[in-house]
Structure 1
Amino acid sequence: MVNIGYTLMSEQTPARQLVGNAVAAEHTGFDFAVISDHYFPWLEEMGHSPYAWSVLGAVAQATRRLPLMTYVTCPIMRYHPAVVAQKAATMGVLSEGRFTLGLGAGENLNEHVIGEGWPPADTRHRMFAEAVEIIRRLFSGDYVTYNGEFYDVDSAKLYDLPDERVPIGVAASGGRSARIAAEHADLLVVNDPMPEVVAQFQAAGGAGKPIYGQLALAYDSDAEAAEQRAHRLWRWAAAGGWKVMAELPGPVNFEAAASSVRPEDVARSVPCGAEVDAVVHAVRAFADAGFTHVALVQIGADQQQPFFEWAEKDLLPALRGL
């Protein structure tokens, strides 16, 4: 059975509502929740981007059983990996073992704010591998001194650790990142149902480990309204693929890149309306590719409560059959 999660989409939602949405997701019966960790929204229309770690602390206190995960945090620039390790360990304590640290190599959109430029992809992968190694060492609870190509750590130690080590997930989109995930991570994160990346991860040593994906949808009783909303808020995702998206520096650039994207282009990959079968079909593609967890993104901050009602009554029962 595929575990079905809920995405706390910080780029479209105010901080206090994110906490309320997490409580509603737990009540509705979702198996887990993930949160995006951004400095900017993808598009100006989305309108929000609160600090994910403050929200996570509040969510940990407002929920009781819901597993939580960052989807995903970049530990290579905006945050030093030693600081990420401390934040994640504290979340492990506050959530009483319900937290997983999802990590990724990041996007220019969120990392350029510190004024250090945006490294090329090969450099980012080397930085990322170092960062994950530092985080794992600090999770041991021992003193860590590290002198790497990109990062130095001087006699650091985490004093507040959960009873069990915080699991680490690593996002991948190709062979190199899949190998990094297999070597360093407890689980794999892949946005789309990409069986080739799953196979590369498993062949490199990740066999048997959980695999997380994410599916955007736009629930609405009015299918046309859902399609228009999905286009207004989600057209950035059809703007040219991850190699392009990782390089764009701001919402205005995503707006320009998505200027020719039509509502029907978005609707091809985003189920729009109230058809349960469309969502089941989309989630089945993840299941067939070997995914164990799929987090759903409901597009539109003002449509969350209707989505929860529909999910509890119709969607989740149908997805439990996968």
Structure 2
Amino acid sequence: MPVRIGYTMMTEQAGARELVSHVVGAEKVGFDFSVISDHSFPWLESQGHCPYAWSVLGAAAQATSRIPLMTYVTCPTFRYHPAVVAQKAATMQTLSQGRFRLGLGSGENLNEHIVGAGWPAAHVRLEMLEEAADIIRRMFTGEYVSHHGAHYDVENARVWDLPEEPPPLGIAVSGPRSCELAGRHGDLVIATEPKQELLEQFDAHGGAGKPRVGQLPVCYDTDRDAAVARAHDQFRWALGGWKVNAELPGPASFEQASQHTRPEDVAEAIPCGDDVDAFVEAVRPYAEAGFTEVALVQIGGDQQEAFLKWAEAKLLPALRNL
């Protein structure tokens, strides 16, 4: 089957009303699904935005009728208690009439530090994610849930407004431990790198046959130099890798960590310009690794309309052949 191509509402680079308008446009031009980042800070100050993802999702559910919606990803361990995430996700599934998927991850210090709960080691964060995912699953049954675990307490909680079918759970992965967790608890797997070994580890723990969703930043512009400059200005942080990116506490840290990243380094990692073949070749490793879906991130909040027109006319038809 061809790889499904998605559109990313990137909250770090556009305001709430703009994000809703963009996903309406993505639906019109034929993207197969959409995802949204769930942040409290942008990666870099030059991105300049960070509206509340769940409010945007509610508006997007009412403004669209076909395109699936998904968090990419929500951290249900610090800013949000898992019982609250369960209620939010169930409401979104109802509002969207079954088009919502709940993507979960262990989070980044960038966003979770705001509640003052500290930032423990990665293995502790994964323990917290596993416990949170179990609580969310139990609350999707509509039963009263009480839970007293290593990290969370839930007292006589219940989701009263349940959708006909609970939203599928996606789990973000970056290594063996998270792949094991995703295989046991996830209905789909989420990754930001086209690494086949991640999918193999996911399959080995129960993930065989389940959807696998990747994400790829791109920077369309008819002026390639302008595209490279914009990608460098707003997305050079991405070259640091998730082991670094999960730990840094704020935009100033990402500015410092990426100060020696050159425009040519970014251009090598991110397709820039309007060469359709270059964009297709950037997606191809995901298809070859076994990903069933890839969400594109067009860099630049004010560049979405031009990108959507180009995607409809040239990029999406070319990607349908993958």
TM-score scaled by structure 2? 0.99
CA distance in 1 between counterparts of 2:243 and 2:305 reads 34
Tell me the C-alpha RMSD between the 2 structures: 0.5
Give the drift of 1:285.
0.5
The offset of 1:175, in angstroms, is: 0.5
Amino acid at match of 1:321: N
**Which ranges of 4 or more aligned residues in structure 1 deviate by more than 2 Å?**
none
**Within 5 Å, which residues of 2 pair with 1:1-322?**
1-238=2-239, 240-322=240-322
Task: State the shift of 1:157 in Å.
Answer: 0.7
Q: Aligned with 2:269: secondary structure?
A: coil
**Deviation per residue, 1:6-62 (Å, 9 max, x gap):** 000000001100000010000010000000000000000000000000000000000
Q: Distance in 2 between matches of 1:209 and 1:268?
A: 31
Amino acid at match of 2:212: I
In 1: Cα distance, 2:153 partner to 2:78 partner:
13
Q: Distance in 2 between matches of 1:269 and 1:196?
A: 20
Output the amino acid matched with 2:285.
A
What letter corresponds to residue 305 of structure 2 in structure 1?
A: Q
Please state how far the C-alpha of 1:66 moved relative to its aligned partner. 0.5
Q: Distance in 2 between matches of 1:123 and 1:164?
A: 31
Which residue identity lines up with residue 44 of structure 1 in the other structure? Answer: E
Aligned AA for 2:77? Answer: I
Q: Could you tell me how far apart the structure 2 residues matched to 1:139 and 1:82 are? A: 10
AA aligned to 1:62 is A
Q: How many residues align?
A: 321
Q: Per-residue CA shift, 1:245-288, capped at 9, x if unaligned? A: 11100000000000000001111110000011111111110000
Aligned AA (2:194): P
Distance 2:245 2:6 in 1: 24
TM-score (norm 1): 0.99
What are the superposed Cα offsets for residues 194-237 of structure 1, whole Å, 9 maximum, x if unpaired?
11111100111100000000010000000111001100000111
Residue segments in structure 2 that go unaligned for 5+ positions in a row: none
Q: 1:269 & 1:113 partners in 2: Cα distance?
A: 31
The Cα offsets for residues 163-222 of structure 1, whole Å up to 9 and x where unpaired, read as: 111100000000000000000010000011011111100111100000000010000000
Q: Aligned letter for 2:155?
A: D
Amino acid of the residue matched to residue 188 of structure 1?
V
Cα distance between partner residues in 2 of 1:18 and 1:195: 32
Query: Partner amino acid for 2:318?
Result: A
* Paired AA for residue 81 in structure 1: P
Question: Partner letter of residue 252 of structure 1?
Answer: A
The amino acid across from 2:32 in the alignment is D
Tell me how far apart the structure 1 counterparts of residues 234 and 273 of structure 2 sit (CA, whole Å).
15
Mapped to 2, the partners of 1:296 and 1:275 lie a distance apart of: 15
C-alpha distance after superposition, 1:135-186 (max 9, x if no partner): 0000111111111000011111101111111100000000000000000010
1:302 is displaced (CA, Å) by: 1.0
**Secondary structure of 1:44's match?**
coil
What letter is aligned with 1:209?
A: K
Displacement after TM superposition at 1:241 (Å): 1.4
Equivalents in 2 of 1:302, 1:90: separation in Å? 30
Identity %: 63
Alpha-carbon distance in structure 1 between the residues aligned to 2:31 and 2:42: 25
Amino acid aligned to 1:292: T
CA distance in 2, matches of 1:200, 1:278: 29
